[in-house]
Amino acid sequence: MTYLFLLLINYISGMPLHAFYVSVANIEYDAKSKQVEISHRIFLDDLENGLTEWTGEQVDVLNPTTPEQLDEIIGKYLNAKTSYQVDGKSVTAQYLGSEKDDGVMYCYQVISSVKKLKSLTVTNTILMEIFDDQTNIIHMKKVGDTKSLKLNNKERSGTIVFD
């Protein structure tokens, strides 16, 4: 019912419904394994558009001809669109793989050999090449404490500091 009401208001006002573009990254520091574990959640259709734009070739995310090739493209894309600094030092995130679930692609990265973590600087420009109003939300968890960042085309990176 609410949806119909919004459509009616939209029709009367003559204004189109505005789509929003968002991805979410959940990051967790595991002190025991000395790893920063990263999970990106990206809508399939947006990812497909982003990969197609980025590669210059049509990429089929839903039904790839070769899933291994799609996974390789996703890994290269994430490595190009994200970067990290632990306590001010650049680190490399290794791409682990991805999986589809209910209209979303979960993409996994890990940063190894992180003995201590006081701050994490994240640069995330996923999908910003195709959507001017793309927002990438970052949730970082360390020992039960969760902090968040909201990144966009004006603010592509941010730092989370833990006490």
pTM of the model: 0.86
pLDDT digits (tens, 9 = 90+) for 72-125: 999 999 999 999 999 999 999 999 999 999 999 999 999 999 999 999 999 999
pLDDT at 144: 86
Average model confidence (pLDDT) for the chain? 90
How many structural domains are present in the chain?
A: 1
Pair 39, 108: CB distance under 8 Å: yes
In a domain, 43, yes or no: yes
Q: What SS3 class is residue 66?
A: coil
In a domain, 40, yes or no: yes
* Model confidence band, residue 9 (pLDDT cutoffs 50, 70, 90): very low
Q: What is the average per-residue pLDDT within 42-66?
A: 95
pLDDT at 12: 44
Q: What SS3 class is residue 138?
A: strand
pLDDT at 20: 76
What is the distance between the alpha carbons of residues 67 and 95, in angstroms, rounded to a whole number? 15
Q: What SS3 class is residue 55?
A: helix
Domain of residue 37: give its range: 21-161
Q: What is the average per-residue pLDDT within 24-45?
A: 97
Q: What is the average per-residue pLDDT within 49-75?
A: 95
In a domain, 5, yes or no: no
In a domain, 111, yes or no: yes
